[in-house]
Amino acid sequence: MIEVRGYAAQKAKADLAPWNFTRREVGPHDVLVEIVYSGICHSDIHQVREEWGEAIFPMVPGHEIAGIVKEVGSEVKKFKPGMRAGVGVFIDSCRKCENCLAGENQYCLEGMTGTYNGYERDGKTVAQGGYANAIVIHEDYVLKLPDNLEMSGIAPLLCAGITLYSPLKHWGAGPGKKVGIIGLGGLGHMGVKFAHALGAEVTVLSHSANKEADAKAMGADHFILTKDEKFFESHKMEFDLLINSVSAPLDLNNYLEMLKLNGSLVMVGLSGQPYPIDAFQMLNQRRRIAGSMIGGMKQTQEMLDFAGEKNIVSDVEVIKAEDINKAYKRVVASDVKYRFVIDAKTF
Ligand code: NAP
Ligand code: ZN
Ligand code: ZN
């Protein structure tokens, strides 16, 4: 077994603290990735706090992993030591269902194998995530990272980046389309950058007045402050696509009113709470509410290549591992500019 240093929560809602654990030896198809940066996603916080239901502890969170290949198994074809490598939200899937075969592994009919807070495919090994200095993973679930981009800003692409890129592509964000991103946090700010790069007209809908200048610097054309109760009144039937990246419950009905004919409101934020919907707002203009979960291996690689081509990285604050708990508090207070990334040397 390979000894690893990381940070874990020993029980639900506990602070994260140093924890040593082991990874499996490098098998014939495995890659050992030395982690360089690990992003903090709001999903990490939801799971440590059991906001999505019962979780597995001790838990090493982290599914935005950027690193360097240290060692490869005898049969590995795609990676060599020294190459950049990324790991996202899942580390395996059944590989044979129709969704896996279509490259949509995140929707595997047997359930994707999450990077942490779940069991590996043997049904008994607890998967542990990226708040650690190394990870061992099958080469088919490792991504190639662009060489021209700064590593710390790449890590968040592995979850925040693909989670916004995928629905933007699926719902056709591009020239002539009006796209609104609700919530300018880790996910939202990647949505602004990708929607802008795809050529859409981009609006940020935020409850934080102090984020307007940043939103515009990231490529937003407009900014709507949602603190005002009537914020939607002057924007009815304006948008082709609204993506909700907010981590807390929200009144969706106001946002529905902002959609044009056949417009879609896509949920990526996961507060864990049910949302009351006024069906009248859906009937009118034949609007849709949909959801989207990260992206498959194929599209995640496409997103990384596109980011390399367009020079897109996340705006990050690099922190030491000992500051994870403070960072969690700031994320929950919507005070992240715009993703915390942990320097893996400090684990
Ligand atoms: P984040 O960095 O905390 O961003 C969330 C943003 O939502 C905040 O910055 C804030 O933006 C807004 N917000 C927070 N509380 C609010 C409130 N009470 N009222 C209105 N707006 C509020 O979180 P994240 O890492 O981007 O993740 C966002 C959500 O997506 C989480 O629930 C996460 O679990 C989920 N997620 C889903 C997927 C998927 O595959 N679908 C993948 C990753 C994460 P403003 O200050 O601009 O309003
Ligand atoms: Zn995530
Ligand atoms: Zn499958």
The mean per-residue pLDDT over the stretch 22-35 comes to 98
The DSSP call for residue 255 is H
The mean per-residue pLDDT over the stretch 81-103 comes to 97
Instruction: Supply the residue whose CA is at minimum distance from atom 39 of ligand 1.
Output: 293
What is the number of the ligand 1 atom nearest to the C-alpha of 246?
A: 7
94 CA to middle of ligand 3, Å? 4
Q: Is the pLDDT of residue 52 over 90?
A: yes
Nearest to 168 by CA among 125, 202, 131, 218: 202
75 CA to middle of ligand 2, Å? 30
Q: Is the pLDDT of residue 126 over 90?
A: yes
112 CA to middle of ligand 1, Å? 22
Nearest to 210 by CA among 311, 337, 105, 67: 337
Instruction: Give residue 177's pLDDT.
Output: 98
Question: Is residue 280 packed enough to be buried (19+ CB in 10 Å), middle (13-18) or exposed (0-12)?
Answer: exposed
Both tokens of 285, joined, read 């203009």
Helix (H) or strand (E) holding 216: helix 212-218
119 CA to middle of ligand 3, Å? 15
* Domains 2-159+314-346 and 160-291 alike in fold: no
177 CA to middle of ligand 3, Å? 33
Task: Identify whether the C-beta of residue 16 lies closer than 8 Å to the C-beta of residue 131.
Answer: yes
281 CA to middle of ligand 2, Å? 30
The mean per-residue pLDDT over the stretch 25-47 comes to 98
The mean per-residue pLDDT over the stretch 149-173 comes to 98
Instruction: Give residue 93's pLDDT.
Output: 98
Rounded Cα distance, 316 and 173, in Å: 25
Mean pLDDT of the chain: 97
Instruction: Give residue 246's pLDDT.
Output: 97
Each domain of the chain, given as residue ranges in start order, spans 2-159+314-346, 160-291
What is the number of the ligand 1 atom nearest to the C-alpha of 272?
A: 32
Q: CATH number of the domain at 2-159+314-346, please? A: 3.90.180.10
Instruction: Give residue 272's pLDDT.
Output: 87
43 CA to middle of ligand 2, Å? 5
Location of structure tokens 């662009």: 146
Q: What proportion of the chain, given as a percentage, has pLDDT over 90? A: 99
Q: Which CATH class is domain 160-291?
A: alpha beta
Give the mutation target among 112, 115, 247 for probing the ligand 1 site: most ligand atoms within 8 A of CB. Answer: 247
Q: What is the pTM of this model?
A: 0.98
Pocket of ligand 1 (CB under 6 A): 41-43, 46, 159-160, 163, 183-188, 206-208, 211, 245-248, 250, 268-271, 292-294, 331, 334, 336
140 CA to middle of ligand 3, Å? 13
What is the number of the ligand 1 atom nearest to the C-alpha of 291?
A: 41
What is the number of the ligand 1 atom nearest to the C-alpha of 208?
A: 46
The SS3 of residue 217 is helix
Instruction: Supply the residue whose CA is at minimum distance from atom 20 of ligand 1.
Output: 207
Give the mutation target among 187, 202, 328 for probing the ligand 1 site: most ligand atoms within 8 A of CB. Answer: 187
Q: Is the pLDDT of residue 188 over 90?
A: yes
Q: What proportion of the chain, given as a percentage, has pLDDT over 70? A: 100
What is the number of the ligand 1 atom nearest to the C-alpha of 331?
A: 3
Rounded Cα distance, 202 and 318, in Å: 27
Instruction: Tell me the pLDDT tens digit for each residue of 294-337.
Output: 999 999 999 999 999 999 999 999 999 999 999 999 999 999 99
The mean per-residue pLDDT over the stretch 191-214 comes to 98
Instruction: Give residue 193's pLDDT.
Output: 98
Instruction: Tell me the pLDDT tens digit for each residue of 234-284.
Output: 999 999 999 999 999 999 999 999 999 999 999 999 988 999 999 999 999
